[in-house]
Amino acid sequence: MKQLVVETSASSYPVLIGAGVIETELLKQLERLNPSRILVIADSAVQNLYGDKLMRAVSSFPSDVYAVPSGEESKSFQTYYDIQTFALKQGLDRKSLILAFGGGVIGDLAGFVAATYMRGIPFIQLPTTLLAHDSAVGGKVAVNHPEGKNMIGAFYQPEAVVYDLDFLKSLPESELRSGFAEVIKHGLIGNEELYRWLKQEIRDVSRINDFMLQRMILQGIAVKAAVVKKDEKESGVRAHLNFGHTLGHAIESGAGYGKISHGDAVAAGMLFAVWLSNRGLGADLPYEEIQSWFGELGFPTAVPSDLDTDLLLGKMMKDKKASSGTITMVLLQSIGECRTQAFEKDRLKSLLEIWRQEGTV
């Protein structure tokens, strides 16, 4: 097992990573918190596969389960409201605990339920996907709105993150690839050594083994933890964690949530951000090399042709970092060194169209 601590201005909490930790480390966290009742908010597919294992681990405490369908569509206000209703009917009180059992959708949804139920009760993240190594840490919890992703939410830190690698063994290749995009992001924005190792060692996501998983999860979370420690509520450098996400979220929303995976959309967004860094900042990033690697891994290397540029710009204008007619993009001065730059909408539209039209995309 590997462990690191995430520190924020108000608290700190452990991230416990390893095979079988749900059966060993989770109980220690539960005994520390001593909840009056536990509500497991679970991805229905994960609950079907691993629910019995989790329920054995929490059997010392009164527990209920609320399972939601897999997919981004479940991160809705209606699902959030239904869970709140269920929690009230089951008699959860301020000493109760929520366990978020699933991927990033469940972590965001369950975290927002915990943040707002009786004005806030504790929760623990139990990530079951590689993608969730990013979302499970840092305390950003939310639900989606048709007008934009994660627009209704809060900053609310978990009490712990218990990351059992055994749960990742059943992930389909497409889900591994989606999570791997966020690992690459952490290397590009904050750890050049991690990026170089990933690029050298991983050319096929289906060949990622437990050693690789543990290393990339640990180092990826370490990058995010360092940023969160400096800027918990995204007033400064935490915006760097959105590298690739401004366009990526627009692609997800424009296509319809669930039609394009988060990782695939972010991969396209990162390619545009790398290209834009070279074009707008005069950086000397290996764009063609990264693009070729992404293609080899199975990521899209362009925006889907049926998504209109004006539609994407409209979505980007609703990004939380947009203001006063400008869109703020997270760019790279070099690998491991970020900066933000604001673009007028028309200027960014022109650059996005050039990138889409060039034969190199």
Q: Which residues are catalytic?
A: 119, 140, 182, 224, 234, 238, 242, 245, 249, 262
- Beta-carbon contacts of 119 under 8 Å, excluding residues fewer than 6 positions away, are none
**292: CB partners within 8 A, 6+ apart:** none
Give the CA angle between residues 352, 354, 358 to the nearest 5°.
Answer: 125
Q: List CB contacts of 310: < 8 A, sequence separation 6 or more.
A: 349
Determine the Cα–Cα distance for residues 214 and 226; give it in Å rounded to an integer: 18
CA–CA distance, 75 with 72 (Å, rounded to integer): 6
Q: Say how many CA atoms lie within 13 Å of 339 toward its Cβ.
A: 11
Alpha helices (H) in the chain, listed in sequence order: 21-33, 44-57, 77-90, 104-116, 132-135, 173-190, 192-201, 210-230, 245-255, 262-281, 287-297, 309-317, 345-357
CA dist 232 and 75 (Å) reads 23
Residue 247 contacts residue 268 (beta carbons within 8 Å):
yes
Give the largest CA-CA distance in the chain. Answer: 60
> For residues 263 and 258, what is the distance between their CA atoms, to the nearest angstrom?
11
- Quick one: which of 179, 178, 137, 35 has its CA closest to 93? 35
Beta-ladder partners of 101? 42, 126
Extract the tokens encoding 132: 């969730």
